[in-house]
C-alpha cells in the first residue's frame, strides 16, 4: 500500500488497522508487523481506543476560537463560553452552590397576605412614583455588592481586556454610550406607552434598532399600570425603580427592558436579572402606593441590530424561586454592611 494510505488507516483506529494487516497483501509485505500487531490487538481487544474517545469537534472549535481571537469581540458572555470550551461547564467541576439549599433567615412571602387589592379600581390611572433619595439600599446596589466570585472574575477580566484595547478613556466613553442608549431606549418606550411624542426623531433614530427588536413583544402588552416608578419594600427596607408594570398576554407582570449586543435566548444567560425582577415584584406587593399585587415577571432582551427580542416570562413558581435567592443576597449584603 502507498505510505500515505497506510498512515491514514493507522489514524482511523485499531479496527481498520487490524483489517489492514489481515489482508493477503499485508501479510506478504509485513509478516512480522502483522503478527505483532494482531497479538497486541488481541490482548487489548476490550480496551477502548483513546483516539475514538476524544471529542474531535470540541477541539476543532477550540482551535478555531483561538486562531480567530479578537479582543473587541470579547465580553462577559463570550468569556464564559471560551472557558466552558476549555474546561467544561463550571457545574461539572465544583460542588453545588450552597445558596441553592440555604433558607433565608428572615423569610418574607413574595405575595403580601395582609394587602387588600382592588384590581378594577382606578384601572386607567397610571402610577409613577418618584424615587426618593434615602439611606435604603437599591436592588441594583445589593446585587452588585453580592456578585459571585466567579462572575466578578469574568467581569473584571472583560474590563481589563477592553481597557487594553480602547484605553481607559475609550472604555469610559464606551460604557457611557451604553448607559445613554439604555436611557434613550427606555424614554422611547415610555413615550410609546403614553402615546406621546416626547422622544425626538433623532433620539428615536439612535434606538430604532432596539424599538424594531421589541415590536412583536409590544403587541402582547396591554393595560400598563406603572412606568419608571419607584418601589419600596416596607419591611425588608430596600428600594428600586421599576421599568414597567403591565399585562403580558393577559398576565400582570413586572417588565424589565434590557439591551444586549449578544443573543440571550435563555433565562439563565441573563445572570442576575431574574433576581432583580423578583425583588421588584416583592417590593410592589409590600408597597402601599400600589393597590394591586403582581405574581409574574418578564425580562425582554432587545438587540441593537433589530433582530427579534427574546421575552423571558417568569411564572409564579419561577418568581418564588428567584425571590428566595434574592432574600439570600439581601441578607448577605446586610451582613457585610
Q: pLDDT tens digit string along 135-176?
A: 899 999 999 999 988 888 988 998 999 999 989 999 999 889
Confidence of residue 198 (pLDDT cuts 50, 70, 90): low
248 vs 13, more confident:
248
**pLDDT for 225 beyond 70:** yes
Decide if 298 is inside a domain. Answer: yes
Identify whether 256 is a catalytic site residue.
yes
Decide if 276 is inside a domain. Answer: yes
The listed range with the strongest mean pLDDT (2-16, 70-84, 156-170) is: 156-170
Provide the CA 296 distance to its chain's centre, in angstroms: 19
Which of 271, 299, 275 minimizes the C-alpha distance to 152?
271
Q: What is the pLDDT of residue 99?
A: 43
Q: Where are the beta strands (DSSP E) in the chain?
A: 221-233, 238-248, 251-260, 296-303, 310-314
* Overall average pLDDT of the 198-207 stretch: 63
Decide if 98 is inside a domain. Answer: no
Name the pTM for this structure. Answer: 0.69
Give the total number of structural domains in the chain. 1
Decide if 173 is inside a domain. Answer: yes
Residue 118, CA distances (Å) to 103, 222, 231, 262 in order: 32, 18, 18, 41
Cβ–Cβ under 8 Å, residues 142 and 238? yes
Decide if 35 is inside a domain. Answer: no
Confidence of residue 128 (pLDDT cuts 50, 70, 90): very high
Q: What is the pLDDT of residue 222?
A: 95
Q: Choosing from 258, 264, 272, 287, which is the catalytic residue?
A: 258
Decide if 48 is inside a domain. Answer: no
Here the CATH number for the domain that contains residue 245 is: 3.90.320
Cβ–Cβ under 8 Å, residues 161 and 82? no
Decide if 68 is inside a domain. Answer: no
The residue range of the domain holding 196 is 141-336
Q: Which residues, at least 6 apart from 182, have a Cβ–Cβ distance to it below 8 Å?
A: 259
Q: Choosing from 256, 264, 272, 325, which is the catalytic residue?
A: 256
**pLDDT for 9 beyond 60:** no
Confidence of residue 206 (pLDDT cuts 50, 70, 90): confident
Q: Choosing from 206, 225, 243, 325, which is the catalytic residue?
A: 243
Confidence of residue 254 (pLDDT cuts 50, 70, 90): very high
Give the span between the Cα atoms of 13 and 4, in whole angstroms: 15
**pLDDT for 178 beyond 90:** no
Q: What is the pLDDT of residue 14?
A: 46
Decide if 260 is inside a domain. Answer: yes
Amino acid at each position: 500500500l502507498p505510505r500515505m494510505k497506510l498512515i491514514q488507516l493507522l489514524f482511523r483506529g485499531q479496527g481498520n488497522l487490524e483489517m489492514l494487516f489481515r489482508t493477503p497483501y499485508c501479510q506478504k509485505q509485513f509478516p512480522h508487523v502483522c503478527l505483532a500487531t494482531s497479538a497486541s490487538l488481541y490482548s487489548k481487544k476490550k480496551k477502548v481506543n483513546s483516539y475514538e474517545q476524544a471529542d474531535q469537534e470540541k477541539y476543532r472549535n477550540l482551535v478555531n476560537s483561538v486562531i480567530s481571537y479578537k479582543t473587541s469581540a470579547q465580553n462577559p458572555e463570550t468569556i464564559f463560553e471560551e472557558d466552558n470550551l476549555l474546561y467544561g461547564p463550571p457545574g461539572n467541576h465544583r460542588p453545588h452552590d450552597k445558596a441553592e439549599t440555604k433558607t433565608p433567615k428572615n423569610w418574607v412571602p413574595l405575595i403580601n397576605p395582609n394587602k387588600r387589592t382592588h384590581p378594577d379600581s382606578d384601572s386607567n390611572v397610571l402610577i409613577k412614583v418618584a424615587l426618593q433619595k434615602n439611606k435604603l439600599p437599591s436592588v441594583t446596589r445589593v446585587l452588585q455588592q453580592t456578585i459571585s466570585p466567579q462572575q466578578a472574575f469574568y467581569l473584571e477580566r472583560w474590563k481589563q481586556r477592553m481597557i487594553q484595547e480602547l484605553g481607559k478613556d475609550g472604555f469610559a466613553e464606551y460604557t457611557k454610550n451604553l448607559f445613554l442608549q439604555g436611557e434613550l431606549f427606555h424614554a422611547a418606550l415610555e413615550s410609546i406607552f403614553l402615546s406621546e411624542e416626547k422622544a425626538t426623531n433623532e433620539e428615536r433614530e439612535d434606538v430604532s434598532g432596539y424599538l424594531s427588536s421589541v415590536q412583536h413583544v409590544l403587541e402582547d402588552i396591554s393595560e400598563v399600570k406603572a412606568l419608571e416608578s419607584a418601589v419600596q419594600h416596607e419591611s425588608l427596607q430596600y428600594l428600586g425603580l421599576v421599568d414597567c408594570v403591565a399585562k403580558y398576554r393577559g398576565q400582570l407582570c413586572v417588565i424589565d427592558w434590557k439591551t444586549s449586543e449578544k443573543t440571550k435566548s435563555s433565562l439563565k444567560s441573563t445572570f442576575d436579572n431574574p433576581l432583580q425582577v423578583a425583588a421588584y415584584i416583592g417590593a410592589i406587593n409590600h408597597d402601599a402606593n400600589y393597590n394591586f399585587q403582581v405574581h409574574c415577571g418578564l425580562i425582554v432582551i432587545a438587540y441593537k441590530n433589530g433582530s427579534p427580542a427574546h421575552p423571558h416570562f417568569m411564572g409564579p413558581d419561577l418568581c418564588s424561586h428567584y425571590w428566595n435567592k434574592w432574600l439570600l443576597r439581601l441578607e448577605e449584603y446586610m451582613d457585610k454592611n
